[in-house]
Structure 1
Amino acid sequence: RNLRDELQAAGFFDATVDFQEQRVINDRQEIDYLITPGTRHRFVHLDIEGNHYFKQEDIRERMFLETKSFQFRHGRFSEAFVRRDQETLTNLYRSNGFRDVAVTHVTKDDYQGREGDIAVTIHIEEGVQWLVSDLRVTGYKRLDLKNVLSTLSSSTQQPYADLNVASDRDSILAYYFENGFPNATFEWSSTPGPAPHTVNLKYQVTEGEQQFVRQVQVNGLNVTRPRLVYRNLQLNPGDPLSPLKMADTQKRLYDLGVFASVDTAVQNPEGAEHDRFVLFDMEEGSRYSVSGGIGATLARIGGSNQQADLTNPGGATGVSPRVSLDVSRINFLGLGHTVSLRTRYSTLEKRGLFDYLAPRILNHTNLDLSFDVLYDDSRDVRTFSAKRAEVSTQLTDRLTKALTAFFRFSYRHVNVGTLKIDPLLIPRLSQSDRVGMFSANFVEDRRDDPTDAHKGRYNTLDLGYSSSIFGSQVSFLRLLARNASYHRVTRKLLLARELSIGIAPAFGGIVEVSTDPDPIPLPERFFAGGGETMRGFPENQAGPRDKKTGFPLGGSALLFHKTELRFPLIGENIGGVLFHDMGNVYSTPGNISFRVHQKSLTDFDYMVHAVGFGIRYRTPIGPVRGDVAYSINPPSFNGFKGTFNQLLQCTETNSCTSARQQISHFQFFFSIGQTF
């Protein structure tokens, strides 16, 4: 059957598959499959008749059959698929009170005289919808079912269906089990209602005896401190014996990340005692975790890392390989804390991060506290290299399922080197940078799938305050906000959009303003452009540039908007994207502009637009992404063709010659995950 269904799904709808068993020789048996594919067809037309209660689009979105399209060249059709859709539609109608619904189909070959074309007509005889006239619930005495009854599916004047009754049974019994009535039972009956096609429902509950927790016993702790387990127990002596709370406790203990297994049981479950012992038997997991990985970035990357080389400030095709190694000590001191060392090495970055994580502080399941020590030697912004030493602490508060808040204080010292800018700016911008910052970050995530969203929204707001009070050399604010939403246009078309805006105004400090008007140190400025922010630029190439060398200087404001139209391309795993990106990094918040024309070779405060096409290949870890962008109005700028020593010499004699350069119209990016 699997072979036949696969052939039919590929267009061979008349395929037959038989098999013959051969003799058994040396405990091995050969089986011959006889496959007759037949003529290849195309499923070109699908019609649905007789539906009145549900709209066509509501029915189509539940069906597996698909007529031929660019995504499915021969359509998606087989007899198994038809049976599956008939059963789906039958269950849909019956769950809405249509007890006598009948779903049939007719298949027509050589549709409209075209050989090989197939059409299918689905005919639905809805019948009459049955409704609940009256609902009575009896037998409950020790528990108040008021809140449960308000949520039942089979309420007055609602559709009557066996599926709804089963759902009501599960809701009522779950409430009893949660409150220590493990032997509660549920029975129901129905009688004709006063009006045609209506029923009177009666639910009879038998409560049984309520059971309680006598004591909770915990076994299997070797390193873990008992208090870590006991403060996560949802059951205590005297509480109703609730299987749901036992399962919730089991989940909470697994979520600590320190146990390989957590088994739970009730002692002597068949006994007649009202007070029971609850047992938790645990096996501690490995205390050490080691992971590593290799990868590479393939894209148009900025100029050479060598200070002597001032060529290609606008970027050139490059590959940056990387390796990573992470080592973690889990359940540190038996408290459920984790100590980690995370390292990364690549041609663009050398990073080491020491992290101490204390989850669920003060016995609050939503509060986590972490302490970090970071060393980072990065060259991802090709204008300079930066060596960063940072200490920080962060409090994470999961306010709701969708909303999380992060409160962070960090202090960092950054040394800047290999500057590829006007030598007159080097004395100022090469100064070491000390920043103490308090920041608050709020994240609202209502996406259906964080790796490949099809509906919902994603919002972030990051507020930072750097001041001399915290030891900063420059006082400035930093605000970065992001809003993304996802909208289904049709069954196959998805519209996704994202708006990002950031400002970082300075309002004091010891740095003097010179020919570069931005007092914020280079490492603290906004650098953007590339596959994640604006695909009309190479990585970190948007915004103001040095007037002599053409290398990016970053800015204190940014504004980007991205729009994508996502659609299936080939089969179920390959999709396509048409996109439009717009925006830039701006020198100051007051210079944010929507104009599209560059005034001069030193004007970068305008909005760049790019359009393009992308391919998405779906994998278990998220879509693999490849994008090609065409920048409509990329910036031109003054560059310097020569070495840094030559730049020094001509600067002294004021004889430097500029060479006009431009960001390439075409950019390409390859990565994992959707752009947003």
Structure 2
Amino acid sequence: MKFKHAVAFASFFYAISSWAVEPFVVKDIRVEGIQRTEAGTVFSYLPVKVGDTLDEEKATEAIKVLYATGFFKDVRLKSENDILVVEVDERPAIAEISINGAKEFEKSKLIEGLKQAGISESRIFSRSLLERAEQELKRQYISRGKYAVKITTTTTPLERNRVAINFDINEGRTARIKKINFVGNEKFKDSELRSELVLRKPDLLTWFTKNDQYSKQKLAADLETLRSFYLDRGYLEFNIESTQVSITPDMRDIYITINLTEGAQYTVSDIKVAGDTIIPEEEIRKLILLKSGEVFARQKLTESIKLITDRLGDDGYAFANINASPEIDHENRKAAFTFFIDPNRRVYIRRINITGNDRTRDEVIRREFRQMEGAWHSTKHINNSKQRVDRLGFFNSVNVETPAVPNKTDQVDIDVKVEERPTGAIMFGAGYSDRQGLILNGSVSQNNIFGTGNFFSLDVNTGAINKTYAASFTNPYFTINGVSLGFDAYKRDLDTRPLSRVGTFKTETLGAGFRLGIPIAENDIVSLGLAAENTVISVFENSPKRNIDFVNEFGRSTNNFPLTLSWARDRRDSAIWPTSGTTHRLFGEVSVPGGDLDYYKISYHQRWYYPITDFFTLMLNGEVGYGDSYAGRPLPFFKNFFAGGNNSVRGYDLNSLGPRDSLNNNTSRLFAVGASKRVVGNIELMFPVPFMKEDRSLRLSTFLDGGTTFNNFGDLNNFMRYSAGVALTWVSPMGPLKVSVAEPLNDIPTDNLQRFQFMFGQQF
């Protein structure tokens, strides 16, 4: 490199020294040697014009300016009869760039990286920029653990002073972590410390997490995790002395050594509160998680400071400062902490500013806010408001900030920035089973009509067995207090005749109703609904006896007035990407006297989300249902509970689990008939797709399902079915996609299986 700089300097010095004529008045300027560069371009840079007197100083300046353009590798000035002759030797232009051997990266991304380094087609070729580009390519490969990468660059001259550049890449094997050693640890085993780190030796998951590949950023994060591990266990004097990262000569194995000093374990001797407390000291002490006599834990200290800060923020002190000052007794290995409280100034909310809602009206967002303009700042109300807006399901992200108002000491604004997502969907679903073949269904829905927050859906199921046509509308804020009003109209047909192994019958139900939703608490809603429906039942010679008996008792046409009452609680942190919180739903349906049916049904559904780590979320789902008649007559068979399928026990046909009936006592032709009781449970471990952790639209999961329907509790074990599998949920630009592959765990020959299921839709 130094040699190249010396050559360039010598060439430049030669060009300057070549000017040795007397000063003269320039009558004309002529440019020679250009092939691609326009003469006008040279004139625009040249600091000498016709009529100027050219002397040695101006000649030197002209050569410097033309060199600085980067267009030329040699510049000379001559004089011919008072005509200034500018002789240039152009640098070649890059005609094409080719990359061979790249597998780790897409070529388009490598080309973009080269462009940022100054190497791209049509640009002027520079050897120094080429070397910089090579280093940038190597840096990208090293970041992926490809320490053995070799890049060979070839430049080929072409006609018209152009060059072609070829990058021949030999990626080599990815270097992986062979061992992580700890030096100085006595209280904890190496295996226990390694389990806290993200970096690790190759295992079953590292093929897609890439955590067996060394990264300086990951190591820095791991060291901080290690520090937190010790500080949370009372080791206040813990220190990481040094770290060594070495790689074997063949560039395949990496060894990491962490030298640490554990120190002694400290306990908390005393807790004091000082400063301007504003709120009673007793209340503050309840928020301090550290207790005298316990082993010190930094996590508890940090959480205590946050709780006190949030508590003061609820009273308007948005800029409170809480400092925990330690008094360390090294001899007795104890530490006392004094919480100094400075509430700072009290502030109120001047204005709530909303941005990003191009489609959704401001009022739809504002009505979810529990923090009011003109009121004192409240951390609890602001956090609650953010969660309520997020749970609407209209936005991919909701960010809330509270900047201070310029030139005001007692005011802050709330800046709400949302990123809208499609809230309408045209859904198409499909499944395949041996019994029913291909099953198709679809729906059209819009959760946010014209940005008003109102919901409308139109469902259509075109299956040969189940046909559904349903329309639904809901205004979630029918009143200013949040009382919702909804209307439903539906037509549901069930025809089992296409199923050769099933006793035949047909039901046609036509109904309509309304719903009221009344909020009774911040996250609790009670709903009341009343509908009127007519069901026409058709039976045939090969229909099940229980269905024929029902028609004989109630007639082919029955009128029913179902009254529904439900309670729902939603405490999830997000409607699209929940990682914590719970949902509860208690639903009851009873036929109102005056109709032809006398029955009631009760069901309860609970879902619990728990963040195991930043990567994994555990979801537990439980459902139970119970139905019966209150007038001594049987529960209508078309009001039975069913189980099996994508929304209950995956791996089994839709509604195929539970008691079965035979046709004319032929046990080889059994079919599910539903039951008066239902139980379903799901355990699902959800996690983002590796390398796409920040993408809220894509999620993987592994699950264990179980459930069935039954009439007598003694039959529960006989009918219970289980399955396990994997699932993918993707809110794609084309629409939501759900795919699951399940393996039944205790199926019997008469069960109807459906291992693969998917649903796909188009959003708008």
| TM superposition score normalised by structure 1 | 0.64
**Does structure 1 residue 352 correspond to structure 2 residue 439?**
no
Equivalence map 1:153-192=2 (5 Å): 156=292, 171-181=307-317, 192=328
Structure 1 residue aligned with 2:739: 624
**Does structure 1 residue 668 correspond to structure 2 residue 749?**
no
Give the deviation of 1:435 after TM superposition.
Answer: 2.3
Separation in structure 1 between the aligned mates of residue 379 and residue 564 of structure 2, nearest angstrom: 39
Separation in structure 1 between the aligned mates of residue 596 and residue 175 of structure 2, nearest angstrom: 73
| Pick aligned residue for 2:515 from 387, 393, 399 | 393
SS across alignment from 1:79: coil
SS across alignment from 2:472: strand
Separation in structure 2 between the aligned mates of residue 211 and residue 493 of structure 1, nearest angstrom: 38
Equivalence map 1:37-76=2 (5 Å): 37-40=171-174, 43=177, 59-60=193-194, 62-73=196-207, 76=211
1:451 and 1:362, CA in 2 relative to 1: closer, same or farther beyond 3 A? closer
Q: Is residue 430–residue 439 contact of structure 2 (8 Å, CA) maintained in 1?
A: yes
Separation in structure 1 between the aligned mates of residue 139 and residue 427 of structure 2, nearest angstrom: 39
Structure 1 residue aligned with 2:282: 146
Could you report, residue by residue, the CA deviation over 1:171-220 in whole angstroms, capped at 9, with x for unpaired residues?
Answer: 5555445434567656675555484554554454455565678x989999
Q: Is residue 316–residue 347 contact of structure 2 (8 Å, CA) maintained in 1?
A: yes
Structure 2 residue aligned with 1:78: 213
**Does structure 1 residue 127 correspond to structure 2 residue 249?**
no
Aligned-partner residue type, residue 528 of structure 1: A
Q: Is residue 619–residue 686 contact of structure 2 (8 Å, CA) maintained in 1?
A: no
Q: Is residue 428–residue 759 contact of structure 2 (8 Å, CA) maintained in 1?
A: no
Could you report, residue by residue, the CA deviation over 1:457-481 in whole angstroms, capped at 9, with x for unpaired residues?
Answer: 87655433224x2x33121222335
Separation in structure 2 between the aligned mates of residue 439 and residue 484 of structure 1, nearest angstrom: 21
Structure 2 residue aligned with 1:432: 557
1:361 and 1:177, CA in 2 relative to 1: closer, same or farther beyond 3 A? same
Give the deviation of 1:251 after TM superposition.
Answer: 4.7
Structure 1 residue aligned with 2:239: 101
**Does structure 1 residue 530 correspond to structure 2 residue 650?**
no
Structure 1 residue aligned with 2:458: 342
Q: Is residue 536–residue 630 contact of structure 1 (8 Å, CA) maintained in 2?
A: no
Q: Greater CA radius of gyration, 1 or 2?
A: 2
Separation in structure 1 between the aligned mates of residue 560 and residue 749 of structure 2, nearest angstrom: 33
SS across alignment from 1:474: coil
Aligned-partner residue type, residue 236 of structure 2: F
Separation in structure 2 between the aligned mates of residue 537 and residue 164 of structure 1, nearest angstrom: 47
How many residues end up aligned between the 2 structures?
Answer: 583
**Does structure 1 residue 317 correspond to structure 2 residue 454?**
no
**Greater displacement, 148-157 / 226-235:** 226-235
Could you report, residue by residue, the CA deviation over 1:197-253 in whole angstroms, capped at 9, with x for unpaired residues?
Answer: 54554454455565678x989999xx999999799674587x6x4264884697599
Give the deviation of 1:528 after TM superposition.
Answer: 3.2
Separation in structure 2 between the aligned mates of residue 406 and residue 143 of structure 1, nearest angstrom: 40
Structure 2 residue aligned with 1:506: 629
Aligned-partner residue type, residue 540 of structure 1: N
| Greater RCO structure (CA 8 Å; 6+ sep) | 1
SS across alignment from 2:287: coil
Give the deviation of 1:131 after TM superposition.
Answer: 5.0
Could you report, residue by residue, the CA deviation over 1:253-277 in whole angstroms, capped at 9, with x for unpaired residues?
Answer: 96797999999999975357x7x7x
Separation in structure 2 between the aligned mates of residue 171 and residue 485 of structure 1, nearest angstrom: 24
Equivalence map 1:236-247=2 (5 Å): 241-242=376-377, 244=379, 247=382
Separation in structure 2 between the aligned mates of residue 494 and residue 285 of structure 1, nearest angstrom: 24
**Greater displacement, 431-440 / 567-576:** 567-576
Normalized per residue, the structure richer in helix is 2
Structure 1 residue aligned with 2:119: none
Give the deviation of 1:522 after TM superposition.
Answer: 3.9
Give the deviation of 1:453 after TM superposition.
Answer: 8.8
1:590 and 1:266, CA in 2 relative to 1: closer, same or farther beyond 3 A? closer
Aligned-partner residue type, residue 393 of structure 1: R
| Pick aligned residue for 1:375 from 474, 484, 490 | 490
Could you report, residue by residue, the CA deviation over 1:524-545 in whole angstroms, capped at 9, with x for unpaired residues?
Answer: 2233333434457422234333
Structure 2 residue aligned with 1:90: 227
1:318 and 1:284, CA in 2 relative to 1: closer, same or farther beyond 3 A? closer
**Does structure 1 residue 554 correspond to structure 2 residue 554?**
no
Structure 1 residue aligned with 2:432: 299
Equivalence map 1:2-13=2 (5 Å): none
Give the deviation of 1:391 after TM superposition.
Answer: 0.5
Could you report, residue by residue, the CA deviation over 1:65-88 in whole angstroms, capped at 9, with x for unpaired residues?
Answer: 243333335973233144432232
Separation in structure 2 between the aligned mates of residue 21 and residue 523 of structure 1, nearest angstrom: 76
Q: Is residue 369–residue 386 contact of structure 2 (8 Å, CA) maintained in 1?
A: no
Separation in structure 2 between the aligned mates of residue 244 and residue 267 of structure 1, nearest angstrom: 15
SS across alignment from 1:242: coil
Structure 1 residue aligned with 2:118: none
* Percent identity of equivalent pairs: 13
Structure 1 residue aligned with 2:65: none
Give the deviation of 1:422 after TM superposition.
Answer: 2.6
Separation in structure 2 between the aligned mates of residue 614 and residue 188 of structure 1, nearest angstrom: 49
Q: Is residue 522–residue 554 contact of structure 1 (8 Å, CA) maintained in 2?
A: yes
Separation in structure 1 between the aligned mates of residue 413 and residue 174 of structure 2, nearest angstrom: 62
Could you report, residue by residue, the CA deviation over 1:435-466 in whole angstroms, capped at 9, with x for unpaired residues?
Answer: 22334445677889988999998765543322
1:86 and 1:360, CA in 2 relative to 1: closer, same or farther beyond 3 A? farther
Could you report, residue by residue, the CA deviation over 1:144-196 in whole angstroms, capped at 9, with x for unpaired residues?
Answer: 34323432356655667888777666555554454345676566755554845
Could you report, residue by residue, the CA deviation over 1:265-297 in whole angstroms, capped at 9, with x for unpaired residues?
Answer: 99975357x7x7x889999999xx972324221
1:498 and 1:78, CA in 2 relative to 1: closer, same or farther beyond 3 A? closer
| TM superposition score normalised by structure 2 | 0.58
**Does structure 1 residue 412 correspond to structure 2 residue 533?**
yes
Separation in structure 2 between the aligned mates of residue 465 and residue 616 of structure 1, nearest angstrom: 36
Aligned-partner residue type, residue 435 of structure 1: N
**Greater displacement, 337-346 / 486-495:** 486-495
SS across alignment from 1:352: strand
Equivalence map 1:229-240=2 (5 Å): 234-235=371-372
Equivalence map 1:589-668=2 (5 Å): 589-590=711-712, 592-593=714-715, 607-608=718-719, 614-617=725-728, 619=730, 624-629=739-744, 632-635=747-750, 666-668=753-755
Separation in structure 1 between the aligned mates of residue 529 and residue 580 of structure 2, nearest angstrom: 30
Could you report, residue by residue, the CA deviation over 1:331-373 in whole angstroms, capped at 9, with x for unpaired residues?
Answer: 87xxxx736353435334342323232438573xxx6433222
Q: Is residue 107–residue 120 contact of structure 1 (8 Å, CA) maintained in 2?
A: yes
1:7 and 1:375, CA in 2 relative to 1: closer, same or farther beyond 3 A? same
Structure 2 residue aligned with 1:640: none
Structure 2 residue aligned with 1:544: 660
Equivalence map 1:218-233=2 (5 Å): none
- Structure 1 unaligned blocks of 5 or more: 24-28, 302-314, 512-518, 596-606, 636-662
Give the deviation of 1:614 after TM superposition.
Answer: 2.8
- Structure 2 unaligned blocks of 5 or more: 1-134, 157-162, 500-504, 692-697
| Pick aligned residue for 1:270 from 383, 407, 414 | 407
Give the deviation of 1:389 after TM superposition.
Answer: 1.4
Give the deviation of 1:54 after TM superposition.
Answer: 6.2
SS across alignment from 1:76: coil
Structure 2 residue aligned with 1:639: none
Aligned-partner residue type, residue 299 of structure 1: Y
SS across alignment from 1:88: helix
1:13 and 1:262, CA in 2 relative to 1: closer, same or farther beyond 3 A? closer
Separation in structure 2 between the aligned mates of residue 491 and residue 79 of structure 1, nearest angstrom: 20
Q: Is residue 439–residue 465 contact of structure 1 (8 Å, CA) maintained in 2?
A: yes
Separation in structure 2 between the aligned mates of residue 377 and residue 557 of structure 1, nearest angstrom: 20
